[in-house]
Copies of this chain bind each other. A is one copy, B any other.
Amino acid sequence: MSASTQAEATTPGAIEAMARAARVAARTLAQSPTVERDKALWAAANALRETRDVILEANAKDLAAYKGSEAFRDRLTLTPERIETMAKGLEDMADLSDPVGRILSEWTRPNGLKIRRVATPIGILGVIYESRPNVGADAAGLCIKSGNAVILRGGSESFHSAQAIHAAMVAGLKAAGLPEAAVQVAPSTDRQHVSDMLQAAGLIDLIIPRGGRSLVERVQNEARIPVLAHAEGLCHTYIHSAAEPQMARRIICNAKMRRPGICGATETLLIDSAIAPSLLPDIVSDLRELGCAFRADARARAIVPDLSAATEADFSTEWLDAILSVAVVDGVDAALEHIAVHGSGHTEAIITSDETVATRFLNGTDSAVVMWNASTQFCDGGEFGFGAEIGIATGRVHARGPVGLEQLTTFRYEVLGTGQVRP
């Protein structure tokens, strides 16, 4: 990091200048053939491998300066294996089909005008992320593949790592003859850059925060431009009276304990009063074997007395941990009501063999993802078959649920005439 670039940071308009360069690059990228964008991904993957030692050195610098928690230090740490994973990830993106130029719909008007909706890149994305340096490579790769220019702003603790990874991405763009300004990183750790990005209406088209809840909430509160993110994943699994007991036990164990820390993990079990007496004790013992603790309402504790009592606040808490809130409800409507009050619009699941009830549940939540007889932990771009995801969104417009390449595109209408004028 040269002093001159550090200085540039304090230059007002550094982000604006980057965004203007990105706009020019985005026009070229948007019109580039698939093969060129894929070539850039392959070349960037090789560059990551070839500059592995430089990247590890930069990462060592970051680690040396780092004074935070061990868990955070682990996320910040790069290894040869993690660099190879980044490189492989870019190659996998190259193998995915091009989301740009798809004809989404097409029709002809009585006056002969042909109208079609064609998928186009969004334009310029701003990705603001925390410790994990690999996010820079993943996000840049997804943007290149989808024809978007991107401005990356990593955490200050991973600054040198981000610069080194960025150099590899730029090498990939160069090798493919694509404009280097298609992938840029904030020139310094100046926090002003984040505010500048969030205010850059007309310059940056979409902001994607990748990180903890506090980052996401800051971004959602300050941003003057659309934000694609989820602040929390308070997911529910409702076990209906017509649930097949063994299936219910298997699913809730997976939904809570497979990885309790991911946003798609179930945080609250809603169990129907008609089945709770026979099923809840088994579920509790299954989960206790896996090391899960409980916060249960009075009706659940009447069935399993040694569960610790839940406060009202517990039902609005995203544990991201081996803790499960439990409430007994009377029927699907009560479950939907609980979700409407406490849910975060991320993912909900119902376990039942009754299709009518399942349909009512599917239609009755307005969460981004709703599941029937499956684990909420399936809420993932890879599991959805998207090949790669940039995050999971709970907003109500444009992108919802796992966000893959297709949702990094927008569209334009093309109107093909033969000289028509409007009456």
- On chain B, the residues within 8 Å of A418 by CB distance are 373
CA distance A368 to B415 in the complex (A): 11
Interface residues of A in 75-115 (CB under 8 A from B): 107, 109, 113, 115
Q: List the B side residues contacting A226 at CB < 8 Å.
A: 226, 395, 397
- Of all chain B residues, the one with the shortest Cβ separation from A399 is B397
Interface hit among A6-14, A128-136, A378-386: A378-386
The answer, yes or no, to whether A387 is at the interface (CB within 8 Å) is no
Contacts of A113 in B (CB 8 A): 374, 378, 383
Complex CA–CA separation, A104 to B399 (angstroms): 14
Residue of B nearest to A112 (CB): B374
Once bound together, how far apart are the Cα atoms of A31 and B363, in whole Å?
7
Known: A27-B364, A378-B113. A412 touches B251 (CB 8 A): no
Most buried by B among A30, A258, A397, A400: A397
A74 at the A/B interface (Cβ < 8 Å)? Answer: no
Contact residues in B for A398 (Cβ distance below 8 Å): 397-398, 410
Interface size on A, residues (CB 8 A): 67
Q: How far is the CB of A312 from chain B (nearest CB, A)?
A: 18
Copies of this subunit: 2
Interface assignment of A66: CB less than 8 Å from any CB of chain B: no
Instruction: Tell me the bound Cα distance from A247 to B420 in angstroms.
Output: 9
Please give the distance in Å from A413's CB to the nearest CB on chain B: 5
Specify the chain B residue showing the minimal Cβ separation from A374: B417
**Contacting pair A258 B422 (CB below 8 A):** yes
A120 to B411 CA separation, bound complex (whole angstroms): 20
Contact B109 A373 (CB under 8 A): no
A414 contacts the other chain (CB 8 A): yes
Q: Is the CB of A384 within 8 A of B115?
A: yes
A177-209 at interface with B (beta carbon < 8 Å): 201, 205-206
Which chain B residues lie closer than 8 Å to A421 at the CB level? Answer: 250-251, 253-255, 258, 374-375, 377
B206 touches A396 (CB 8 A): yes
A340 contacts which of B27, B383, B400 (Cβ < 8 Å)? Answer: B27
Q: Does A123 contact B (CB under 8 A)?
A: yes
Report chain B residues within 8 Å CB of A372: 414-417
Contacts A206-B396, A254-B421 aside, 5 further interface pairs with beta carbons under 8 A come to: A226-B397, A258-B422, A370-B413, A371-B415, A402-B413
